[in-house]
Chain A
Amino acid sequence: MATPSRPVPVLFRPLPKGGRLLKHLLLIGFGLVMLYPLLWMVSSSLKPEELIFRQPGLWPSEVTLDNYVDGWTALKHPFGYYLWNSAVVTALSVVANLVACSLAAYAFARLGFPLKKLWFAVMLGTIMLPHHVVIVPQYIMFSKLGLINTIWPLVMPKILATDAFFVFLMVQFIRTLPRELDEAAEIDGAGYWRTFYRVVMPLCLPALATTAIFTFIWTWNDFLSQLLYLNNPDNFTVPVALRTFLDSSGESSWGPMFAMSIVALGPIFGFFLAGQKYLIRGVATTGLK
């Protein structure tokens, strides 16, 4: 009699072939339903205006770039002008966050100082703080300083490391690096500053990449602050400019609005494709969105 073979754990037993195929079919179907609105927006942006709502299908029977041409010039400035404004705000925010948050994170992760535990707890507390609690006084402050319609209200908080999420992310990351490296650098005569930017920062590249990508996406998408602080069409960024489409064109010109929405989503989509690894890892380890 043959000895009974050990049972394969139920969860690992491969599904029967048909079952596996069914699972994939269901997943693909579900994915299609989820992405359908996005795909529909892309295809609609390529259709002549009058066809958009008569065809729920994806394949345009007639392809035209008119919507892009019309949308690009529909507002006070060509759309590229708003893209540039957004790019400036976003680039400054990314640089500011990288520098300010990593400086603070190094101190929390590696240096001893009085009341460290208290300040660390305060820093964690500010992560949970709803932004709306501070917007009224912040707005008053920036308006008294005459900084409405400048980029300072948008960039200043980043220069001052108020995105505590990223400080925390980097503290966690630096803590995983072996301390012997710091000590070796110190023996070689490096001060704190040199240790920070010659030893610790180069090893932090993954955390810095996550910070950069998320800062990019959040700033590019951010609507509330830009709506509050930029009221002059000459300073509009992409989200605020897109919003004026709703006012100026009412319900009629959806084609150009879709076209410019796709232009607005383009950079995020690009970063998504390029930085997937860091995005997924960032979400998985810290719960960033």
Chain B
Amino acid sequence: MADTVAVERRAKASGPVTGGSRTTERKRREARAAYLFLAPWFVGLFVITIGPILASLYLSFTDYSLLEEAKWVGFDNYVKMFTEDPRFVSSLKVTTIYVVVSVPLQLAFALALALVLDRGLRGLPIYRSIFYLPSLLGGSVAIAILWRKVFGAEGLVNAVLGVFGIQGPGWVSDPDYALGTLILLHVWTFGAPMIIFLAGLRQIPSSYYEAASVDGAGRLRQFRSITLPLLTPIIFFNLVLEVIKSFQSFTQSFIVSNGSGGPADSTLFYTLYLYLKGFKNYDMGYAAAMAWVLLLIIAGLTGVNFLASKYWVFYGDSK
């Protein structure tokens, strides 16, 4: 009953009953529906994403402060960045050190803990949750405030050191150590990549290990010849993700230095400097140029990562 009604209704909806035009009519209807479903996304794509990207490219060639008209200055902003602006160069350096040191460290911790937790350890869900919690909280203002105090001159770390009779420096107020505390904060959030590693470890068939141990391979050998190669795609995925993410870190640097990037610009992250230029000095042309340099850096790093991956990432079918 219901079927015939439906068929009738479909026949009516699709007009003439000749086979070919019915399918094209159907396709047209489907496409129309699809565009309706996608309407918010399309508006967002053009108004919130692509429009602003192009606008920021245009602005990067201008001198603009929100109040006056934009003035075309050609490549001045880009040239100034690398030749006349030591703060820009130092922010780039600080961010690079941060990424290069903290990402490998974080991934090493993530992998090590994933290996320890893998394969039927009792209490796995509890450990997993405990190690994951910092990843959820790590980006918040509250934790950055905590960090400022844990590593303050009169903070937790120095109180603990004091128990052993050691007088520690004011970690966040000493240019030699301030960046180190931010690196530590990033390493502290190793839980998220750890969970991705755990999921990856689970994909490795246990028969591989059985075969290897029948052949007399020890634990270390099994790790080097089975676990590590089969895990390289996941390591690669985590690496790309974390490099992109950490290059854009903002909150930690802002809160720990209270918006200054200090002491002595030692925690001046790229994005913090971009914020100060664009929204404190209202030098928006310059900030837009910095944004485009950031886009190129991130695209470049991702590209390099993908190219290099050919030499060390092992995909099962390539051998």
Contacts and interface: CB of A to CB of B under 8 A. Distances in A.
Interface of A: 6-12, 23-24, 27, 30-31, 34-38, 40-41, 53-56, 100, 103-104, 106-108, 111-114, 116, 119, 122-123, 126, 128-141, 143, 156-157, 159-162, 167, 187-189, 191-193, 196, 217, 220-221, 223-224, 227-228, 238-239, 242-243, 245-247, 251, 254, 257-258, 261-262, 264-265, 268-269, 272, 276, 279-280, 283-285, 287-289
The dominant DSSP class at the B interface is: helix
B72 interface: no
Contact of B196 (A123, A160, A246, A287): A287
B142 A107 contact: no
A265 B287 CA distance: 32
B107 to A, nearest CB: 13
Nearest to A191: B33
A143 B67 CA distance: 11
A35 B210 contact: no
A188 B2 CA distance: 7
B258 A129 contact: no
Interface of B: 2-3, 5-6, 9-10, 27, 30-31, 33-35, 37-38, 40-41, 43-45, 47-49, 51-53, 55-56, 59, 66, 113, 116-117, 119-123, 127-137, 139-143, 145-150, 152, 154-156, 159-160, 162-163, 188, 192, 195-196, 198-199, 206, 209-210, 212-214, 217-219, 222, 237-238, 241, 244-245, 247-248, 250-251, 254-255, 258, 271, 274-275, 278-279, 284, 287-288, 291-292, 294-295, 298, 302
A187 B141 contact: no
Contact of A130 (B222, B275, B298): B298
Contacts of A245: 145
A41 B147 CA distance: 10
A35 B133 contact: yes
A283 B66 contact: no
B133 A284 contact: no
B49 A162 contact: yes
A229 to B, nearest CB: 10
